[in-house]
Copies of this chain bind each other. A is one copy, B any other.
Amino acid sequence: MTRFAPLKNDCFLRACLRQATDYTPLWLMRQAGRYLPEYRATRERAGSFMGLATNVDYATEVTLQPLDRYALDAAILFSDILTVPDAMGLGLSFAQGEGPKFARPVRDEAAVGALAVPDLDRLRYVFDAVTSIRKALDGRVPLIGFSGSPWTLACYMVEGAGSDDYRLVKSMLYARPDLMHRILQVNADAVSAYLNAQIDAGAQAVMVFDSWGGVLADGVFQQFSLAYTARVLAQLKRTGVDGKVVPRIVFTKGGGLWLREMGALDCEVLGLDWTVNLGSARTLVGEGARGKALQGNLDPNVLFAPPAAIEAEVAKVLASFGTPHTDTTRPGPTHIFNLGHGISQYTPPEHVTALVEAVHAQSRALRRA
């Protein structure tokens, strides 16, 4: 088994486990990305997005880039959300200037019947990247692994690409719920195996991105998204290669209305988008012995405003959560600062500096107040 360097900054992991911290830890969804000139340079050398994502050295390099610039409290594996369906044989590609596309979308009974949990060897490049990144981090901050949720993967698998109305996947859901359940079962088992292999490779926390759960109707979300996220969680390893607990984060974009039901999930952290009031969320699911840590939820568009405005909006987010607990003898309400969605490619990198400094300084001050 690989031995990794001891962790120097455990603020993020402590907050995930609802343990008191000296300040509010911070990382950013899509923090390794196009807004950074150094990312664009590596992407250029890699030749293509998949060339970047499938090469262990490039993936390691870009994962660490934002950490060299900013005092972030966690790293997240650089990879694509669609690696699992690609390994199922759906044929992922990225056309220039467009989003992902599958050559063989899953649209009929035969295609659904042919789906199976992929051979994990086809995803070896991801697990190798996890180990490589963890080594390169050398204990600076913990490494988060991730996957799309079963429902979110199903959206892409049926639509064959991004969508603005989810017509094809919802048509199947309403017309042939049996087929949709079969896809989601396969996806849930594949996602569990995928995340467990990331944990075995060195991931110290894992996150399930239910990016499209929020497009579902009330009632349908619970049956076709939440139930399969729960199925993933039930199958996940509870400890990593170093014997430490691996916190599990679930983020449903647009899922604020179902927060109470998400509070019953067997996970440690819930991610929230900017439509959710953090204070209300804390009351609903953040307190008590079985409460969750909360992660979020600044609108990424705030980062287009000047630093003074960014600082003011950071203050609002921190105030909305309220003071995290400071009792080191027991778990209590904690907050992990993040955006409510991935950072925009148009973000001025120096505005992220202002954000990181504001979160750290203000959250330390809050605890002293």
| CB <8 Å contact, B175 and A304 | yes
| CB <8 Å contact, A171 and B217 | no
* Bound-state Cα–Cα, A305 to B180, Å: 13
Interface-centre pick from A167, A275, A277, A299 (highest chain B CB count, 10 A): A275
With A165-B301, A301-B165, A301-B167 in contact, is A274–B175 under 8 Å at CB? no
Contact of A256 among B166, B257, B297 (CB under 8 A): B257
Answer yes or no: A360 CB below 8 A from chain B CBs. no
| CB <8 Å contact, A218 and B275 | yes
With A174-B302, A305-B174 in contact, is A276–B218 under 8 Å at CB? yes
* Bound-state Cα–Cα, A346 to B301, Å: 33
* Bound-state Cα–Cα, A305 to B175, Å: 5
Contact of A171 among B167, B275, B301, B320 (CB under 8 A): B301
With A275-B218, A276-B218 in contact, is A305–B340 under 8 Å at CB? no
| CB <8 Å contact, B274 and A217 | yes
A160 / chain B contacts, CB cutoff of 8 Å: none
With A167-B344, A167-B346, A344-B165 in contact, is A304–B174 under 8 Å at CB? yes
Answer yes or no: A135 CB below 8 A from chain B CBs. no
Answer yes or no: A107 CB below 8 A from chain B CBs. no
Q: Mark A286-321, 1 if CB is under 8 A from B, else 0.
A: 000000000001110110111001000100100010
Answer yes or no: A219 CB below 8 A from chain B CBs. yes
With A175-B309, A304-B174 in contact, is A217–B299 under 8 Å at CB? yes
How far apart are A102's CB and chain B's nearest CB, in angstroms? Answer: 20
* Bound-state Cα–Cα, A73 to B221, Å: 30
How many copies of this chain does one complex carry? 2
In chain A between 215 and 229, which residues have their CB closer than 8 angstroms to a CB of chain B?
216-221
A254 / chain B contacts, CB cutoff of 8 Å: 254, 275
* Bound-state Cα–Cα, A276 to B218, Å: 6
| CB <8 Å contact, A174 and B344 | no
Answer yes or no: A89 CB below 8 A from chain B CBs. no
Answer yes or no: A100 CB below 8 A from chain B CBs. no
Contact of A301 among B166, B277, B313 (CB under 8 A): B166
Answer yes or no: A170 CB below 8 A from chain B CBs. yes
How far apart are A208's CB and chain B's nearest CB, in angstroms? Answer: 19
How far apart are A161's CB and chain B's nearest CB, in angstroms? Answer: 14
Contact of A174 among B171, B174, B277, B301 (CB under 8 A): B301
Q: Mark A235-275, 1 if CB is under 8 A from B, else 0.
A: 00000000000000000001011000000000000000011
30 A–B contacts, CB within 8 A, in A order: A165-B301, A165-B344, A167-B344, A170-B302, A170-B304, A171-B301, A171-B304, A171-B305, A173-B301, A174-B302, A174-B304, A175-B304, A175-B305, A175-B309, A214-B275, A216-B299, A217-B275, A217-B298, A217-B340, A218-B275, A218-B277, A218-B320, A219-B277, A219-B320, A221-B275, A254-B254, A254-B275, A257-B257, A257-B275, A257-B276
Known: A218-B320, A256-B257. 11 other contacts (CB 8 A): A164-B164, A165-B301, A166-B301, A175-B304, A175-B306, A217-B299, A218-B275, A220-B299, A254-B254, A254-B275, A257-B275
Task: Please give me the 9 A-B residue pairs with the lowest Cβ-Cβ distance, nearest first.
Answer: A170-B301, A174-B305, A217-B274, A171-B304, A175-B305, A218-B277, A217-B299, A256-B257, A174-B302
